[in-house]
Amino acid sequence: MSLSALQPIPAGVANLADFEAHAQAAMNAEAWAYLNGGAADEITLRANRSAWDAIQLQPRVLRDLSGGHTRVPLLGSELAHPVLLAPIAYQRLAHADGELASAYAAAAQGAGMVLSAQASVAMEAVAQAFAAEPQSGPLWFQLYWRDDRGFMLELLQRVERAGFTALVLTVDAPVHGARDRERRAGFKLPADVRAVNLGGLKKPLDLQPGQSALFDGLMPRAATWAEVDWLRANSRLPLLLKGVTHADDALEAHKRGACGVIVSNHGGRTLDTVPASAELLPRLREGVGADFCVLVDGGIRRGTDVLKAMALGANAVLLGRPYVHALAAAGAHGVAHALRLLRDELEIAMALSGCKTLAEAGPHLLWSARK
């Protein structure tokens, strides 16, 4: 699979939010509802954005910022900046090049990427895109647990052979949320878009009369801490858990050998009325201490959001829907442009806050009326 011809950036795009209208025009209504919808009343979806807006920066002035930079350490490597692309399924719904375009853009901009298990492009092609760029960030593979250990073992081996450097187990979505917007739109995957890295068929539910399809059928197959232990025993790759919202769960992940967690409410797509990621992050950081790796996603739109996340204790952030908007609007060029805009905004925010490096970012950068 090769990339399409370079597409121009739409006129008037000055920030990540500007891609949204162009993306909506490029996608059909059903796919748009799937990508942008949240669970139930979409309270958490909206809160993810408003929570970052509500946090205020308190800049310091007249500091010597010469030689400043956005570099950060992450799991033994140094990143050019603390932005990774979050795992988002079926990106060929947004653009014919799908995840391959996102991969080339991320690699070119020094960003990391977490490839969804439900990617619509082969994992090997994505890995090759990263391998071709020596300055790329980390490439991780996201997993949903499937209750077929033979299949899971084959998948883990394939992921390692392809060159991915970490596993990310999503733990907050054993079932789909009640996504009303998606259901109203009547979304169904088109025939030419599928999860190409997930072969085989799921086992049919074996239910007795009166049993619940959810509690008696699906939940016995869902991942527990035992499956975390199994993944640790059957892969050499570092393991992170995505979708952790409680400090006790983060501590348990650490105890069982995970190398980090991603604070996430699944972009507001699973359980509605979960707190915003920006509100969850400082509590988890306080709960696990300074040495455990903690990333965050949900509602990131601006460079100031990235700086706030770092000040609240994140080691890095994951960018979600906005990069798929950029993908729909302008393919690989759009995603690369979105990442560059976000990094430029981060540098501006750091400079105007008196923050020379992200190692200096901390709660002192954030305004509190109680001080």
Which residue type sits at 208? Answer: Q
Give how far Cα 282 sits from Cα of 75, 295, 309, Å: 20, 11, 9
CA pseudo-torsion sign 128, 134, 135, 141: positive
Secondary structure (DSSP) of 235-302:
-SS-EEEEEE--HHHHHHHHHTT--EEEE--GGGTSSTTPPPHHHHHHHHHHHH-SSSEEEEESS--S
DSSP letter at 178 equals -
Contact 326, 305 (CB under 8 A): no
Length of the chain: 371
For 11, counting Cβ atoms within 10 Å of its Cβ (0-12 exposed, 13-18 middle, 19+ buried), the class is exposed
Q: Tell me the β-bridge partners of 241.
A: 169, 261
Would residue 69 show up in a list of annotated catalytic residues for this protein? Answer: no
Q: What is the distance between the terminal CA atoms of the chain, rounded to a whole angstrom?
A: 56
The number of C-alpha atoms within 13 Å of 214 and in the hemisphere containing its C-beta is 5
What 3-state DSSP class applies to 200?
coil
Give how far Cα 95 sits from Cα of 51, 124, 142, 143, Å: 30, 19, 21, 23
CA pseudo-torsion sign 275, 279, 282, 283: negative
Identify the active-site residue in 266, 325, 333, 337.
Answer: 266
Place of tokens 């082969």: 122
Residue positions annotated with a catalytic role: 266
